[in-house]
Amino acid sequence: MGFGLYVALANAVERAASMTTKMLKTIKGIRSHEDDSRDIRDILPSKTIHEDNSNVTAMGLVSRPLTEDQESTGGFFGDSSTIAFIKQLQDTVRLRTPGPEPMQEFSNYGSQESPTILNETVDSHELLPPRHLADHLVDRYFSKIHTLYPFIHKEAFLAAYESLWRQNDNPSTERSANGLGLGDTRGTRTSFYYGLNIVFAMGCQFSDIIQHEREAISEAFFHACKPALDVDYLEAGDLALTQTLLLMAHYLQGSRAPNRCWHVIGIACRLAQGIGLHSDAGNDHRSFAEIQVRRRVYHGCVMLDLAISIILGRPVIVPHKQCTPLPLPIDDRFLMVDSLVCEQPPGLFSRVEWFIATLKLYELVRKTLNTLYDNVGKDCEDELADQRQNKRLFQIQSITQIDSELQEFQLRIPGPLRWDVPVPEAQQYGFLREKYLLKARYVEIHQPWFITGNNHVRLDFCI
């Protein structure tokens, strides 16, 4: 789910400095300049530590054989997790196969080495990569990631980004970005650097840098924003910090560090609630643009929390449907702080439509999770047989209701995102990726699920 495209296996960062010179030469269409900013090697730390040696990735992929005890995988993984599904398959095989069988190894990686994370902190937040590399990574972030997950205001962010490269202190002529989080003209420089580095890290995943160097470089950028997790820094949390943590969780979702991903999205959700993103209180004093960005970020936190909870089979922080209104389908360039009301021009399909449709689909995912899976723990041992039977009947009825809502959802999908309606070839470009990603998430809800009555009886349902 979410960011399955990000594969961030952390290579030994000691090799990153020696690789960097060659890496810069491999960037397509980019040429180095003598007068650029500091070499990227200046921001690469030199030490690593081993941490979170897990059999499971943050996408729920199993990288080592499972044992009888799920806790051997390094944490609790409930019914909806991939681990639980594989373990059910293994248990079924054991019931049907006499005698012990060697357990097959499920692996998504060629190496079983422990993941590494960086343990140094960068004293100066103002270490930037060369301008041409920085521009390349920012462009890749906004073209590949932001179009799906608009958690930051593009125009505000780019205005603040451009100001970093100015050689003088002349005041900016850009529009005010007050209240928009990363890029807020009232925000601290440190907060923006943390956000910028996670943008670099995520953009690096789609860069022209060759694969084995890309992973080490992106991890170095991630390291630069890790001080944002400091409890003292969290004390003064704001919208910009929430955006940074949300992006960090997205980055970690493609790592072999499920617990780090789990913890960071949890912090992001708590911070979002702590600064009131879940509430409309105080909106009378906020601009229309600020309200929309706040709603995007809050629903982004809730969505990613739900996605990771399903993948790892753990309880969600926000278990119920949200009363917070969804954001409106208005592109960033039309969200201006100095406008009382902002609107998307008629006839221009908004990039935010895919994000909104995905949020609606995830509410159906939440219903499925609450109805069919137990991610809290095992049922009480003394649960009566008739209670279990009533529970199953309720689940069957719920499946019918969820299926009906899924059909209604499909009928309400905006035209450019409909995968069941032919679209002229000339109109497909621009939203083709979004269309099939939405279809993939729709199909994913129809995956098989299992209810275990005892070790010998299993009821298989598919919605």
Q: Model confidence over 421-447: pLDDT tens digits?
A: 776 665 556 788 999 999 998 988 876
Q: What 3-state class would DSSP assign to 428?
A: helix
Site of tokens 């030199």: 46
Average of per-residue pLDDT across 392-409: 84
The DSSP letter of residue 285 is G
pLDDT score recorded for residue 33: 42
If one compares 81 and 415, the residue with the highest pLDDT of the two is 415
If one compares 445 and 229, the residue with the highest pLDDT of the two is 229
Site of tokens 């929390």: 305
Contacts of 393 (CB under 8 A, 6+ apart): none
Which of 53-62, 273-282, 418-427 tops mean pLDDT? 273-282
The rounded percent of the chain whose pLDDT value lies above 70 is 62
What distance in Å separates the CA atoms of residue 33 and residue 131, rounded to the nearest whole number? 9
Contacts of 262 (CB under 8 A, 6+ apart): 58, 75, 308, 312, 314
Q: Is 325 left (phi over 0), alpha (psi -120 to 50) or beta?
A: beta
Q: Are 28 and 71 in contact (CB under 8 A)?
A: no
pLDDT score recorded for residue 448: 54
Which stretch of DSSP H or E encloses residue 220? helix 211-225
Q: How many CB atoms within 10 Å of residue 95?
A: 11
pTM reported for the whole predicted model: 0.71
Residue 55 confidence (pLDDT) above 90: no
Average of per-residue pLDDT across 190-195: 94
What distance in Å separates the CA atoms of residue 290 and residue 293, rounded to the nearest whole number? 5
86: pLDDT confidence band, cut at 50, 70 and 90?
low
**What's the chain's average pLDDT?**
74
pLDDT score recorded for residue 22: 45
pLDDT score recorded for residue 447: 64
Q: Is 347 left (phi over 0), alpha (psi -120 to 50) or beta?
A: left
pLDDT score recorded for residue 145: 96
Average of per-residue pLDDT across 40-60: 50
Contacts of 92 (CB under 8 A, 6+ apart): 458
396: pLDDT confidence band, cut at 50, 70 and 90?
confident
Average of per-residue pLDDT across 21-37: 43
As a whole number of Å, the end-to-end CA separation of the chain is 18
Backbone φ, ψ for residue 371 (5° rounding): -85, -40
Closest CA to 435 of 368, 351, 363: 351
Question: What are the domain boundaries of the chain?
Answer: 13-361, 379-463
What distance in Å separates the CA atoms of residue 13 and residue 44, rounded to the nearest whole number? 8
pLDDT score recorded for residue 9: 29
If one compares 230 and 168, the residue with the highest pLDDT of the two is 230
pLDDT score recorded for residue 81: 59
Q: What 3-state class would DSSP assign to 449?
A: strand
Average of per-residue pLDDT across 227-249: 94
What distance in Å separates the CA atoms of residue 42 and residue 109, rounded to the nearest whole number? 30
pLDDT score recorded for residue 399: 84
What distance in Å separates the CA atoms of residue 120 and residue 48, rounded to the nearest whole number? 8
155: pLDDT confidence band, cut at 50, 70 and 90?
very high
What distance in Å separates the CA atoms of residue 217 and residue 200, rounded to the nearest whole number? 9
Residue 230 confidence (pLDDT) above 50: yes
pLDDT score recorded for residue 201: 96
Q: What 3-state class would DSSP assign to 325?
A: coil
Residue 103 confidence (pLDDT) above 60: no
